Amino acid sequence: MSALVNRLVRRSRATESADRPAVAAGAAAGDGGRWRRGRWVAAAAGLCALVMAAHAAVPNGFGNLGSLLETFLPWLGVSVPVLLVLAAVRRSAVAAVAGLLPALVWWSLFGDVLVDKRAAGGDLTVVSHNVNDANPDPAGTARQLAASGAQVLALEELSPDTTPTYERVLADSYPYHAVRGTVGLWSRYPLHDVAPVQIMPWPRALRGTVATAKGPIVVYVAHLASVRVRPGAGFATAGRNAAAERLAAAVRAEPAPRVLVVGDFNGTPNDRALAPVFASLRSAQEEAGAGFGLSWPAALPVARIDQILLRGITPASSWTLPRTGSDHLPVAATLRL
């Protein structure tokens, strides 16, 4: 028995001795492996950074893929923590370094949006709200909007059933109002020259002059056509894009020095298809807001499709109001006249 034990001990020592170089080699390979592992994670990080940096090059030829990407472009930033977690799981140095690329690109695109640019003061507060024609509580929504203290309210998606409710509830706070089709303008100041703007076959936009205490401003209220994502068709935006072109043409031709364009655009400032509108106007949220000011859907906002745009007016602050009975959040801005 002792002879057998001795033989096993000698064999174990010999095996241990033979394994030492292999263990050392494996350790060395493990050190270098940190730079070789995670190549797929690194490739994904590079692709994500490229898509963000070159989003304008993504074509709209098939299903308006470029516009769909740009609508939710800021959300590509979510990929950064995901990629960094994957790099940590893989213990990959190259993946961790590559994961910083989309972070840098995202910051270059949207870092300024996170800066709080709101300031105190201002001469006029305006609120725009898609009130939703299926709103279960239009009276409550009207009371919430009146409580905001805004001097001017712009409402979209009115209906024959709900318009009388808004007119009744808002009458005491806003003695002047005008409704054209599904959009309306309520004001504490007199309204003049209110007329529909033909951006679609049926009235979904109006133009009016608000005689404020510091001079007149021209206000456009618009509700561009809805968009849909359909299998096979992709991002269906033809109606909205055509309406945006017509609205942009009307605003370009507007001779007034102070112009306000508000409403539900069913698109974000990043969407190239809305460039004609944004080209001649500035965004109150971008110049005087804090964050992205997401407005839709109200339960969990992922995009700012409700806009307050201006020309010849300086925004002091911009924000969203608390949720009403609508599927949109109201958007607000205080302006210096």
- What's the pLDDT tens digit per position in 168-198? 999 999 999 999 999 999 999 999 999 999 9
Note the pLDDT of residue 303. 97
pLDDT-based confidence at 37, cuts 50/70/90? confident
Question: Per-residue pLDDT for 136 more than 60?
Answer: yes
Same domain, residue pair 196 and 101: no
Overall average pLDDT of the 61-86 stretch = 94
Phi then psi for residue 193, to 5 deg, are 55, 40
Nearest in space to 48 (alpha carbons), one of 66, 75, 86, 68? 75
Give the contacts of 149 (CB within 8 A, at least 6 positions apart): 125
* Boundary of a domain, candidates 52, 80, 114: 114
Same domain, residue pair 55 and 180: no
Domain that holds residue 240: 124-336
Same domain, residue pair 69 and 141: no
- How many CB atoms sit inside 10 A of residue 129's CB? 29
Overall average pLDDT of the 120-128 stretch = 97
Output helix, strand, coil percentages for the chain, rounded to the nearest 5.
Answer: 40, 25, 35
In-domain check, residue 202: yes
Same domain, residue pair 104 and 185: no
* Boundary of a domain, candidates 84, 114, 144: 114
Note the pLDDT of residue 17. 47
In-domain check, residue 265: yes
Same domain, residue pair 163 and 242: yes
Residues 176, 179: Cα–Cα separation, whole Å = 11
Same domain, residue pair 306 and 166: yes
Same domain, residue pair 84 and 140: no
Residues 323, 298: Cα–Cα separation, whole Å = 6
Same domain, residue pair 149 and 82: no
* Boundary of a domain, candidates 114, 149, 172: 114
In-domain check, residue 3: no
Same domain, residue pair 305 and 244: yes
What Cα–Cα distance (Å) separates residue 107 from each residue in 34, 45, 288, 324?
27, 15, 19, 32
Q: Whole-model pTM?
A: 0.88
Same domain, residue pair 161 and 90: no
In-domain check, residue 138: yes
Overall average pLDDT of the 40-48 stretch = 95
**Contact at 8 Å (CB) between 235 and 227?**
yes
**Total of domains in the chain:** 2
